[in-house]
Structure 1
């Protein structure tokens, strides 16, 4: 019997791939026209440290908070700051290892990585910061999730619930979109897809 965090949504899009892919191409191009390449410097720096150390510390999480423009004046941020950095790294190291393991399928790695981060303060619920950490650990495999990306999926006709296990289901859709791209002759990374979804979601009327 499947655990609740492994429930799979019906993620088949009602839009044909011929309609989906041009929208993603246009959206990614729009993002790159309007966002400076320097914006990802923080992410790149954290990624470099993770590649050397194999874990994520409090300073790295703080940098990713700034990069994602998330609030830090919260109870969970205080609780995380009160933890020993070594204890934070003890939690994050297995998550880093699993998402970087190319022998583990992407969706399975995403589920496992997200689950392994959940003991940290602020990581039990919500996927925005957790996904940023997993992307920093494995930038060519994982994708950032946020409300704009979620809105972008909705505009394409995908139904992604917010129940537990959302990040794994999200990565399943990202991989499906990458496959559509391959069929169209485009070899995108998961990060390319999430940037296109982010821009698409920002463009949707509220």
Structure 2
């Protein structure tokens, strides 16, 4: 009888890990060689402000909307901007604390932070902007999720469904990838993997993120 070593998802990942890392390493190199070194300056500015403040305000969220190239002409933006910044910071401060909690696994921390961010307008559905906020809060632990990342995961044969709790499962998947990568994963963060997945899942060679 075959001995099981983890969940079906972990066993699936272990089976295809070598091929996945072949793709990730090449994609990460392509991303770094092609995307402007200045493109993530907005993201890094938000990271630094979050490190100092321990929370994100409306200005930080607005900056990440532009960085993620999302539409600001939506109802949720009006609702968010109508809230006091103190309220927004109170919510994001709790989320920052959650994703930085090293007593939790990467996946557990992601799930906790995502559940808190859910309280703000615009974060009830989808994970793209929420993941950017949580990654700005803990850039060494969290990672950005978007439709291109999802496309890459599908292409690589890695299962990530859209059922509730997707962001937590996504970070657990990246944690498993880092674990199974052995020496090939040395020096890599979850954020490095997300940029490699983004590059793999892009529909065209456009270098913007």
Superposed CA offset, 1:8-50 (max 9, x none): 8835238522211111100111111110111111011101111
Cα deviation 1:172-194 (Å, max 9, x = unaligned)? 11111111223435331011000
Contact 2:27–2:197 at 8 Å: present in 1 too? yes
Q: State the SS of the aligned residue for 2:133.
A: helix
Counterpart Cα distance in 1 of 2:14 and 2:180: 14
Is 1:175 matched up with 2:144? Answer: no
Aligned to 1:111: 111
Written as runs of structure 1 = structure 2, the 5 A alignment for 1:1-206 is 10=9, 12-13=12-13, 16-184=16-184, 186-202=186-202
Q: Secondary structure at the match of 2:148?
A: helix
TM-fit CA distance, 1:129: 0.1
Distance 1:183-1:55 versus aligned 2 partners, 3 A rule: same
Structure 1: where are the runs of 5+ without partners? 1-7
Coordinate RMSD, CA, aligned:
1.7
- State whether residues 13 and 177 of structure 2, in contact with CA within 8 Å, keep that contact through their aligned partners in structure 1: no
Q: TM-score, normalised by structure 2?
A: 0.89
Number of equivalenced pairs? 197
**Distance of 1:16 and 1:65 partners within structure 2:** 34
| TM-score under structure 1 length normalisation | 0.91
Distance 2:32 2:17 in 1: 22
- Partners of 2:193 and 2:184 lie apart in 1 by 14
CA distance in 1 between counterparts of 2:108 and 2:185 reads: 26
Question: How far apart, CA to CA, are the structure 2 residues paired with 1:94 and 1:73?
Answer: 27
